[in-house]
Amino acid sequence: MTTDRARPTAEQLAAAQDATIADVAAPGLRVLFCGINPGLWSGATGHHFARPGNRFWPALHRSGFTPRQLRPEEQQELLALGLGITNVVARTTAKASELTAEEYRSGGEALVERVTRLAPRALAVLGIGAYRAAFGRPHAAVGRQVERIGDSEVWVLPNPSGLNAHYTLDGIAAEFAKLREAVGPADS
């Protein structure tokens, strides 16, 4: 693992292939954000959404979830705000396209178990394709889903990767803000 704010070397990125990083999670969160799977940069640093250009941290702030824009190495501060991070598939890859259909399906099953155990107000899956593959919902759309996991609402939000050309940062933040308004403040 690299030190905070350090750029991983090519060797560190290569060594991060198929690694895992710990969830940032606790029981009773307002929102458990769920990425597709960690990228190599995240695997090398041990921080979720760590690659420069990923729009998760700016969107989280612009949507009103955080009082300032956090850096990936500050991810543990999310817990005090009632927020957490997990992934559909735990292993790191250079691209999500390296994941198999079986990994998505088994990742979806494990995610249901995790959400049932942690009981957040909402699960927010970041990526429509990942949600469709993990939960067998080929026609799902961005937004609140009809299905719930226990008492937890399920939302699908845009993938914040810089490679997602379908949404601007402002568009991603607007979808995050809809979720924030639905789940209410941290103390309610």
Each of the 188 residues of the chain gets a pLDDT tens digit; together they read 444 457 899 999 999 999 999 999 999 999 999 999 999 999 999 999 999 989 999 999 999 999 999 999 999 999 999 999 999 999 999 998 999 999 999 999 999 999 999 999 999 999 999 999 999 999 999 999 999 999 999 999 999 987 777 899 999 999 999 999 999 987 65
Does the residue 4 lie in any domain?
no
Alpha-carbon distance of 135 to 130, in angstroms, equals 8
pLDDT at 5: 58
Does the residue 157 lie in any domain?
yes
pLDDT at 188: 54
Residue 30: C-alpha distances to residues 1, 139, 168, 180 (Å) = 29, 26, 25, 9
pLDDT at 6: 73
Alpha-carbon distance of 116 to 114, in angstroms, equals 5
pLDDT at 163: 76
Does the residue 101 lie in any domain?
yes
pLDDT at 30: 97
Number of domain units in the chain: 1
The CATH code of the domain that includes 48 is: 3.40.470.10
User: What domain range is 155 assigned to?
Assistant: 21-183
Does the residue 2 lie in any domain?
no
Does the residue 6 lie in any domain?
no
Does the residue 9 lie in any domain?
no
Alpha-carbon distance of 158 to 92, in angstroms, equals 20
pLDDT at 152: 98
